[in-house]
């Protein structure tokens, strides 16, 4: 029986090319393995030492600035005007063991081994859990969304508190500078965010060396003051931490919230796994970062034990007056590097969220050819800048911001631990009791830290919570909406094979030229083609189903770029392949299509895009979510620009899809 394609188009709700949401397999293909290839290339050309140096600058920039304020805020939380050995050694013990258990045990020894084809981070861990389970789980999905949303709050607070705490050191040099702290901080942050569009490739070369100098300075200052009070090393004993918690029950809970500031940035060890690899990150931690942090905290404690009046700003008080300007300058540089690292992390997180279908397709600009992590997302950049400036102007001091900082960090770490346990169980590596027993020591500590930070909810902790709620709502609305649309479309999809057969002997009008119809699924007929048949009742003498594919390598070779497959009659399938570091420039790739055997005349060719318009039809809360999704679709990047199609030869055909 011969079917008329015009009748098919008339009777069906036409499916469109889904240019906005990718599934798990797409993410793994386009994103997760990409940094692995980069890591392998860099390891081959630069070696382990270069990767270790890069890890020091990027991975540890955030945690490296914690000594500026972590010990100071913990002492302030005790409420003791003249802290003595019980307070100083107790807090130092808690700091040291927090670094050991949370960073060393959880991240360095455990999570760095849970990589998704070389990639790390909470979204990569989510995909591991998802694939191990073999089916979608809404609770696990919500955990991933919550983790990514909390990271958004962390990404806004880190630049604000880091740069502000460093610039506050100028007050110790010139007390009259107090009124200039905010303007200087705002100037540095604005310059930092405005510079993102140019990329960070040239500046990144300085990250490693400058951060190495910073950690050496931390260690040197610590050793210098430890010589004055050498018995401060007894803080390594966990007994001091236990005694502090027992004898300071009234303030211990609040102090723990400040102690957790010492591990801010710990999530970066896991998130940047794909860029540097496990061994360089471990080498940097044990060879330099961890010793420098511990020595500096011990040095601050030794200084306060010898001079209790230095507790108000124990970090900058470590430097002699002649070297204080140098330390303030170095601290400012270190905080800018820490801010840059978290901004780059926000770009990577947003890209991963978009590819997983949690966000609309974003306009992404690659700023360096050799590194997949060197990207710039304008929308994320300006939203972050607005949030950072609001935090600086609203809180006006690093001490006030410290109350807002902990919830975002602890929340993300708790969710990472939960997903890690789920992965161990779902993958069959451990039974439920064994996985819980293994994770219990770290999990209990993190939950205590989270509860401690929640006590600061009304003192500024609401900021990351509100930010996470807003971002989480956006991500859930987008994911939910795309799933509803995809379900609606797939119910009515027309398979390519049956469609091609229906064209044999069809009476449809044929016009000269070549029609290129973009489709995300090469096995179903592009909706733009069905729309063209429905409204124009014509078919080109050569009809090409065009699929753009992203490879797992940075660049596609000339041989890989294009392939052409005959489907029968006037129909062909063209696949254009691009590396993950390449811009999908379809116009430029058409030359490779010619070499692959496709014959067409540019002047008589037309590119057809399917544009889907969702229509909200629900009720109550569902209607609000549907309308929110419809509003978000307006922010998705234009596919004509994204694929670099010739604008004067593009025809967009749309449809309304009820959700």
d(CA 117, CA 126): 13
- Measured over the CA atoms of residue 351, residue 356, residue 360 and residue 363, the dihedral's sign is positive
* Inter-helix orientation angle 70-78/85-98, to 10°: 140
* Inter-helix orientation angle 290-306/201-226, to 10°: 40
| Whole-number Cα distances in Å, 77 to 249, 251, 259, 306, 455 | 12, 7, 10, 20, 12
Is the per-residue pLDDT at 554 higher than 60? no
Neighbours of 417 (CB within 10 A): 20
Identify the CA nearest to 57 among candidates 352, 268, 355.
268
d(CA 442, CA 447): 9
Q: Please say whether the beta carbons of 260 and 442 come within 8 A.
A: no
All structural domains of the chain with their residue ranges? 5-19+494-658, 33-359+405-480
**Reported confidence tier of residue 201, pLDDT bands at 50, 70, 90:** low
Please state the rounded mean pLDDT for residues 445-458: 82
Q: Give the chain's count of helices (H) and strands (E).
A: 26, 8
Instruction: Quote the mean pLDDT of the chain.
Output: 80
User: Dihedrals φ, ψ of 492, to 5°?
Assistant: -115, 15
Neighbours of 297 (CB within 10 A): 27
d(CA 341, CA 335): 10
**Reported confidence tier of residue 23, pLDDT bands at 50, 70, 90:** very low
User: Dihedrals φ, ψ of 99, to 5°?
Assistant: -60, -40
Q: Which residue's entry shows tokens 């540890």?
A: 60
pTM of the model: 0.74
| Whole-number Cα distances in Å, 413 to 46, 125, 144, 341, 420 | 32, 12, 12, 18, 10
d(CA 460, CA 252): 19
Give the model confidence (pLDDT) of 476-522 as tens digits.
Answer: 888 888 888 777 777 777 888 888 888 877 778 888 889 999 887 78
Is the per-residue pLDDT at 7 higher than 70? no
Q: Please say whether the beta carbons of 472 and 146 come within 8 A.
A: yes
Give the model confidence (pLDDT) of 349-374 as tens digits.
Answer: 887 787 777 888 788 776 665 555 56
Give the model confidence (pLDDT) of 615-650 as tens digits.
Answer: 777 677 788 888 888 888 888 877 887 788 887 888
Residue 100 pLDDT: 92
| Whole-number Cα distances in Å, 502 to 471, 510, 569 | 47, 15, 11
Is the per-residue pLDDT at 136 higher than 80? no
Identify the CA nearest to 179 among candidates 190, 168, 192.
168
Q: Please say whether the beta carbons of 71 and 216 come within 8 A.
A: no
* CB within 8 Å of 215: residues ≥ 6 apart: 56, 60, 64, 288, 289, 292, 293
Structure tokens at 447: 């939950």
Is the per-residue pLDDT at 30 higher than 50? no
- Measured over the CA atoms of residue 249, residue 254, residue 257 and residue 258, the dihedral's sign is negative
What is the separation of C-alpha 56 from the centre of its chain, rounded to a whole number of angstroms? 19
3 state DSSP class of 614: strand
User: Dihedrals φ, ψ of 264, to 5°?
Assistant: -60, 135
**Reported confidence tier of residue 47, pLDDT bands at 50, 70, 90:** low
Please state the rounded mean pLDDT for residues 168-186: 81
Q: Please say whether the beta carbons of 291 and 299 come within 8 A.
A: no
Largest CA distance in the chain: 96
**Reported confidence tier of residue 222, pLDDT bands at 50, 70, 90:** very high
Q: Please say whether the beta carbons of 196 and 319 come within 8 A.
A: no
User: Dihedrals φ, ψ of 197, to 5°?
Assistant: -65, -25
Give the model confidence (pLDDT) of 104-120 as tens digits.
Answer: 989 888 888 877 766 77
Higher pLDDT, 657 or 242: 242
d(CA 259, CA 241): 11
Structure tokens at 441: 């020591």
The H or E element spanning position 421 is helix 398-426
CATH code for the structural domain at 33-359+405-480: 1.20.1740.10
Structure tokens at 94: 């808690």
- Measured over the CA atoms of residue 217, residue 219, residue 220 and residue 224, the dihedral's sign is positive
d(CA 274, CA 371): 11
What is the separation of C-alpha 493 from the centre of its chain, rounded to a whole number of angstroms? 34
| Whole-number Cα distances in Å, 472 to 24, 141, 144, 148, 354 | 19, 11, 10, 8, 13
Whole-angstrom Cα Rg for the chain: 28
DSSP code, position 521: -
């Amino acid at each position: 029986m011969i079917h008329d394609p015009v009748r098919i188009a008339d009777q069906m709700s036409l499916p469109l090319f889904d240019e906005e949401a990718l599934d798990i397999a797409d993410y793994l293909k386009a994103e997760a393995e990409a940094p692995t290839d980069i890591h392998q290339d860099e390891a081959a050309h630069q070696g382990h030492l270069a990767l270790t140096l890069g890890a020091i600058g990027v991975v540890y920039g955030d945690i490296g600035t914690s000594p500026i304020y972590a010990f100071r805020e913990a002492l302030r939380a005790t409420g003791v005007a003249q802290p003595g050995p019980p307070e100083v050694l107790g807090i130092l013990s808690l700091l040291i063991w927090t670094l050991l258990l949370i960073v060393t045990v959880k991240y360095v020894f455990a999570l760095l081994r849970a990589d998704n084809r070389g990639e790390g981070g909470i979204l990569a861990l989510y995909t591991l859990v998802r694939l191990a389970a073999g089916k979608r789980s809404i609770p696990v999905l919500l955990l991933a969304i919550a983790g990514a949303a909390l990271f958004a709050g962390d990404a806004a607070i880190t630049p604000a508190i880091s740069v502000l705490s460093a610039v506050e050191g100028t007050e110790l040099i010139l007390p009259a500078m107090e009124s200039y702290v905010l303007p200087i901080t705002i100037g540095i942050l604005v310059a930092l965010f405005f510079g993102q569009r140019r990329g960070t490739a040239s500046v990144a070369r300085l990250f490693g060396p400058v951060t190495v100098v910073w950690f050496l300075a931390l260690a040197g200052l610590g050793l210098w003051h430890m010589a004055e009070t050498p018995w401060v090393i007894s803080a390594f004993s966990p007994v001091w931490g236990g005694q502090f918690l027992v004898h300071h029950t009234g303030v211990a809970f609040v102090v723990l919230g400040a102690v957790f500031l010492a591990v801010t940035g710990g999530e970066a060890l896991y998130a940047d796994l794909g860029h540097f690899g496990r061994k360089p990150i471990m080498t940097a931690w044990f060879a330099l970062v961890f010793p420098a942090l511990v020595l500096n905290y011990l040095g601050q404690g030794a200084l306060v034990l010898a001079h209790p009046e230095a507790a108000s700003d124990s970090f900058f008080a470590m430097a002699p007056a002649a070297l204080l300007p140098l330390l303030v300058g170095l601290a400012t540089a270190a905080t800018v590097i820490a801010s840059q690292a978290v901004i780059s992390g926000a770009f990577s997180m947003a890209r991963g969220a978009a590819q997983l279908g949690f966000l609309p397709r974003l306009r992404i600009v690659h700023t360096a050819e050799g590194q997949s992590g060197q990207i710039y997302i304008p929308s994320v950049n300006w939203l972050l800048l607005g949030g950072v400036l609001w935090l600086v102007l609203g809180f006006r001091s690093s001490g006030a911001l410290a109350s807002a900082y902990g919830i975002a960090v602890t929340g993300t770490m708790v969710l990472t631990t939960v997903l890690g346990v789920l992965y161990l169980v779902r993958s069959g590596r451990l039974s439920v009791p064994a996985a819980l027993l293994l994770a219990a020591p770290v999990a209990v500590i993190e939950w205590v830290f989270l509860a401690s930070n929640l006590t600061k909810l009304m003192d500024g902790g609401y900021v990351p919570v509100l930010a996470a709620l807003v971002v989480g709502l956006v991500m859930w609305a987008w994911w939910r909406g795309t799933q509803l649309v995809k379900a609606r479309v797939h119910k009515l999809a027309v398979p390519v094979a049956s469609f091609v057969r229906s064209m044999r002997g069809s009476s449809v009008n044929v016009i000269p030229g070549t029609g290129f119809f973009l489709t995300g699924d090469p096995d179903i007929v592009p909706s733009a083609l069905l729309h063209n048949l429905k409204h124009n009742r014509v078919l080109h003498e050569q009809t090409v189903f065009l699929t753009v594919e992203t490879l797992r390598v940075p660049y596609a070779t000339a041989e890989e770029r294009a392939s052409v497959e005959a489907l029968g009659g006037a129909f062909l399938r063209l696949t254009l392949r691009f590396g993950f570091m390449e811009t999908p420039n379809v116009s430029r790739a058409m030359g490779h299509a010619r070499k692959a055997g496709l014959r067409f005349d540019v002047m008589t060719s037309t590119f057809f895009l399917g544009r889907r318009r969702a229509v909200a039809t629900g009720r109550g809360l569902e209607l609000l979510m549907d309308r929110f999704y419809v509003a978000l679709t307006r922010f998705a990047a234009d596919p004509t620009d994204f694929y670099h199609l010739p604008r004067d030869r593009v025809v967009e055909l749309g449809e309304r899809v009820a959700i």
